[in-house]
Amino acid sequence: MLTLREETFEGTYPFAPKYYVNRGVEMHFVDEGQGEPVVLLHGDPTWGYLYRNFIGPLARQYRCIVPDQMGMGKSSVPQDRSLYRLEQHVNNLEALLLSLDVRDLTLVLHDWGGPVGLGFATRHPERIRRLVLMNTWAFAPWPGGPFPRLLQLIRSERGEGFVLQKNGYLEPALKGTTHFPEQLTETIMQGYRAPFSTPESRLAMLCWSRDIPVDETDVSYAEMKRIEHQLSLFRHTPVLLVWGIRDPVLSRAVLKLWKQVYPHAETDEIENASHFLQEDAPARIVQRLEAFLHAPGV
């Protein structure tokens, strides 16, 4: 029987696993191809598998780096809940990317990957060449309107049993915010489920939802505000906004905020895509990314 480290999920994730250890946390990442680095960062409740359709095409011309955030995918799952804070996730990514000494990099960010990736970027703006923002945010307080009921449940007293014991979050989140859930085959769902087979392995999913800064009393509010205040560092950096318009979590209103922050940004609004736009329109997004990466002077 294959271990999670070796598992390719019927060949859908055939990439060699690599690991970096930072203060006892083992961080898994994919590192494929050569050339200018492109870092693709997932959010909650996914892992690097979200980018399985992106890595092969992009790695033909670029160095494609896809980390699994702490507690997700093939990375280790420390049980100290105090570690699962935005600032620590930024620290983890910073340690990995500095160890790889990547420069002139393009960050491709989705969901919680946005605050984490931009947290790194604002610490090291000299290393950033381009930003690609996909259905993400980096604003405090929460800009997405009323909290989705699923997130409200996770943040309540019942949330612990719902996520850890019942494993009630992953599947509704994925299928509920994918516009074409029928494309999530059993093989694909097995890929998403595999890292979260026990209550202990689901801790990150619980903590991510509870760490969203809603008001000033939330632990990660100050770090999110720090990131938000420094977004202007990239006012002259090429930015691409790729947005699934059917997203009920991060709606057009959040896209509008990004357009205000980066009025120079290119925008690709995908009408038939929801929050997990990587599942709804992978070929279109890869094509748009390649055009953005190839653009003269970018």
CATH code at position 178: 3.40.50.1820
The pTM score is 0.97
Residue 60 and residue 185 in contact, taking contact as beta carbons nearer than 8 Å: no
pLDDT at position 211 is 98
* Domain extent for 77: 18-294
CA–CA distance, 49 with 130 (Å, rounded to integer):
23
> Burial, 281: exposed, middle or buried (Cβ in 10 Å; 0-12, 13-18, 19+)?
buried
Whether 9 maps to a domain, the answer reads: no
pLDDT at position 148 is 85
DSSP H helical ranges for the chain: 52-59, 86-100, 113-123, 149-155, 159-160, 170-176, 186-193, 203-210, 221-229, 252-261, 277-280, 282-294
CA–CA distance, 143 with 140 (Å, rounded to integer):
7
Q: Tell me the residue type at 155.
A: R
Number of structural domains (the chain) is 1
pLDDT at position 298 is 65
Whether 4 maps to a domain, the answer reads: no
Whether 5 maps to a domain, the answer reads: no
Whether 42 maps to a domain, the answer reads: yes
Whether 45 maps to a domain, the answer reads: yes
Residue 289 and residue 54 in contact, taking contact as beta carbons nearer than 8 Å: yes
Closest CA to 94 of 113, 72, 121, 115: 121
For the chain, 298 residues long, give each residue's pLDDT as a single digit of tens: 579 999 999 999 999 999 999 989 999 999 999 999 999 999 999 999 999 999 999 999 999 999 999 999 999 999 999 999 999 999 999 999 999 999 999 999 999 999 999 999 999 999 999 999 999 999 999 998 788 889 999 999 999 999 999 999 999 999 999 999 999 999 999 999 999 999 999 999 999 999 999 999 999 999 999 999 999 999 999 999 999 999 999 999 999 999 999 999 999 999 999 999 999 999 999 999 999 999 976 6
Whether 98 maps to a domain, the answer reads: yes
Closest CA to 78 of 26, 6, 30: 26
Residue 119 and residue 192 in contact, taking contact as beta carbons nearer than 8 Å: no
pLDDT at position 144 is 82
Question: Which phi and psi (to 5°) does residue 179 adopt?
Answer: -70, -30
pLDDT at position 147 is 83
pLDDT at position 293 is 98
Whether 147 maps to a domain, the answer reads: yes
pLDDT at position 1 is 58
Whether 229 maps to a domain, the answer reads: yes
